[in-house]
Amino acid sequence: MHNLFLLLLLPSVIFGAKAPNFVIIYADDLGYSQLSVPMMKDKPEYAHPLHQTPNIAKLAKRGMRFSSAYAPSPVCTPSRASIQFGMTTARVGCISIHDVVMNKREIDMSKNLSIAEMIKAANKDYVTAFFGKGCTPMGWFKDHGYDVTDFNHTHPNGNAHGDWWEPQTKTPIPDDDPKRVFSLARSSVDFLEKRGEDKKPFFLTISHYAVHVRNTSLKQTRERYLKIIAEQNGIEGGISDANETTSGKLHSLWEKANYAAMMEDMDTSIGLVLDKLKTAGFDKNTYVIFSSDNGGGNQNPPLQGGKAKMWEGGLRVPMIVAGPGIAPNSQCDRPVAQWDYLTTLHDLVGSEVPLPKTLDGISLRPVLENGNAGQLAERDTGFVFHFPAFYTTPITSFRAGNYKLMRQLNTGEIKLFNVADDMGETKELSKEMPEKAAEMVRDLDAYLKKVGAWTMREVYDTRQEELDEWIERDKLRITENRKQLETPGLDAGKRDKLKSQLESSRQNLEKHEKNIELLKAQRNSSRWF
């Protein structure tokens, strides 16, 4: 009997069972409390009172919600690199949206093992696909193990592809496909139909452009929320789409309705994919992971902060996982991070190919199968969120166990919170627990040194070099334009073009000189928000 039990624990691939499928659904800028389903079952107040996301709620009902899940960064680009390669942003070498040090060092992301490459190494029959917003430093995802992508533009998919059908020519996205939510669903459904035909296992990532600004939504969805909000606020005559261009309260309420509608449109898109998984018979053998790349730009109660901030509101995000062996309507309170995904899928797929030793993630399979009772491997690095950004408050956060340390990178000031008991980070503990704070500082510094993380000074100095170079380029172009304008016999068309170039160079110079002043102010900032 004991031997039989051990055999049952072995990966199913050994017995020739069907290989599991994987779907990652990644939202953009979706905050912890912006869904209609809370990440804590006993805290219904953590669900959003207006937003309606019934399909995501259904996913939570048949799977496991995570109350303490973390995105790798409070902004999109580093999170997207981290999730692909199973490393913290500090280790992967991408800590910011415009990472000047990464650019200067010419960090080569292709040297890392992506989730898609790992899965294909485990089983060559897998078909891998990525639809939607990519990660700028990674370039074309077909170079990272993805067989099928929707990267069919002049440049790899990024933020602009959620606002324009073709960003180069500013070709608008059709009104019936806001933030591409429905074309993403169509691409995904088509992909699933092909897998139903060829019977091959698959790994699919659906990377939404919603709910990132620019906020757009279907007119019919938006009209329902305009009516709801008008009734809530006692506005006779209602709120119309004409208020999009007005100012004041009515415009603010219109924006609120538009955002809620965008949220529901994304949920509808997700529902189309989940329905296809079910009708195609894939749902019983498919792990579905839903999460967000960083905290929301709106308020995220009870969390402090939001996008681009290192408080819990910028880092703690919704996360739901459904699939084989996962108890329905369950909840896990163990802290997890998205750099765990690669190691988790490596475990679930039953890969016998060793992983690189430079990863930060651990397998979440024990908690997926056993909830809070699951025995996770020990994290020798904790959760490191390194954010030496030059354009906002630079903070490094570090969670180990129940405690989260925060360090303001300009001043070195420390804050300590017990985020298990105080997720709103209202009670600062560094003075009460100096030994704990000192221990965490040592562990954090040891990790940052080991991975060669960027220092704040290096980031500021590199940004200064970049701006100085751009300013010299602007001045050179202005001089050249002026000289060319003095050329005798210029025709009117050529003269107008040179004048336009001169004005553009002047505007760029003014902008870059202003950014120099902003950088000086940022270097001396002691703010926490």
Q: What is the DSSP string of 147-177?
A: SEE---SSS---GGGGTEEETTTTEEPPTTS
Beta-sheet pairing, 395-400 with 403-408: antiparallel
Structure confidence at residue 4 as a pLDDT band (50, 70, 90): very low
Asked if 173 and 299 sit in the same domain, the reply is yes
Asked if 329 and 473 sit in the same domain, the reply is no
pLDDT at 229 over 70: yes
Structure confidence at residue 5 as a pLDDT band (50, 70, 90): very low
Q: 78-119 pLDDT, tens per residue?
A: 999 999 999 999 999 999 999 999 999 999 999 999 999 999
Residue 25 lies in a domain: yes
Asked if 57 and 170 sit in the same domain, the reply is yes
pLDDT at 497 over 70: yes
Structure confidence at residue 17 as a pLDDT band (50, 70, 90): confident
Asked if 404 and 332 sit in the same domain, the reply is no
Alpha-carbon distance of 193 to 202, in angstroms, equals: 12
Alpha-carbon distance of 89 to 261, in angstroms, equals: 32
Asked if 518 and 420 sit in the same domain, the reply is no
Of 423, 451, 479, the residue at which a domain comes to its end is 451
- List beta partners, residue 319: 291
Beta strands in 241-358 (DSSP E): 286-292, 316-317, 319-322, 330-332, 336-337
Residue 95 lies in a domain: yes
Asked if 434 and 314 sit in the same domain, the reply is no
Asked if 27 and 169 sit in the same domain, the reply is yes
Question: Is residue 16 a contact partner of residue 250, using CB atoms and an 8 Å limit?
Answer: no
**What CATH number is given to the structural domain containing 206?**
3.40.720.10
Question: Is residue 445 a contact partner of residue 453, using CB atoms and an 8 Å limit?
Answer: no
Residue 229 lies in a domain: no
Please report the pLDDT score of residue 294 as a whole number: 97
Asked if 296 and 190 sit in the same domain, the reply is yes
Residue 197 lies in a domain: yes
Please report the pLDDT score of residue 380 as a whole number: 83
Show the domain range for 505: 456-523
Asked if 424 and 461 sit in the same domain, the reply is no
Q: 201-228 pLDDT, tens per residue?
A: 999 999 999 999 999 999 999 999 999 9
Residue 241 lies in a domain: no
Alpha-carbon distance of 448 to 73, in angstroms, equals: 15
Question: Is residue 189 a contact partner of residue 276, using CB atoms and an 8 Å limit?
Answer: yes
Asked if 439 and 305 sit in the same domain, the reply is no
pLDDT at 7 over 60: no
Asked if 513 and 430 sit in the same domain, the reply is no
Q: 144-184 pLDDT, tens per residue?
A: 999 999 999 999 999 999 999 999 999 999 999 999 999 99
Q: Any alpha helices (H) in 372-455, and if so which ranges?
A: 434-451
Whole-number average pLDDT of the chain: 95
Residue 511 lies in a domain: yes
Alpha-carbon distance of 89 to 84, in angstroms, equals: 11
Q: 434-477 pLDDT, tens per residue?
A: 999 999 999 999 999 999 999 999 999 999 999 999 999 999 99
**What CATH number is given to the structural domain containing 443?**
3.30.1120.10
Q: How many domains does the chain have?
A: 3
Structure confidence at residue 6 as a pLDDT band (50, 70, 90): very low
Residue 236 lies in a domain: no
DSSP structural state of residue 138 = G
122 contacts: CB under 8 Å, gap ≥ 6: 346, 349, 350, 351, 352, 353
Alpha-carbon distance of 138 to 157, in angstroms, equals: 10
Alpha-carbon distance of 205 to 351, in angstroms, equals: 20
> C-alpha 449: how far from its chain's center?
25
Rg from Cα positions in the chain: 25
Q: 357-403 pLDDT, tens per residue?
A: 999 999 999 999 999 999 999 998 889 999 999 999 999 999 999 99
Of 400, 421, 451, the residue at which a domain comes to its end is 451
Of 313, 341, 371, the residue at which a domain comes to its end is 371
Residue 228 lies in a domain: no
> C-alpha 314: how far from its chain's center?
11
Asked if 42 and 135 sit in the same domain, the reply is yes
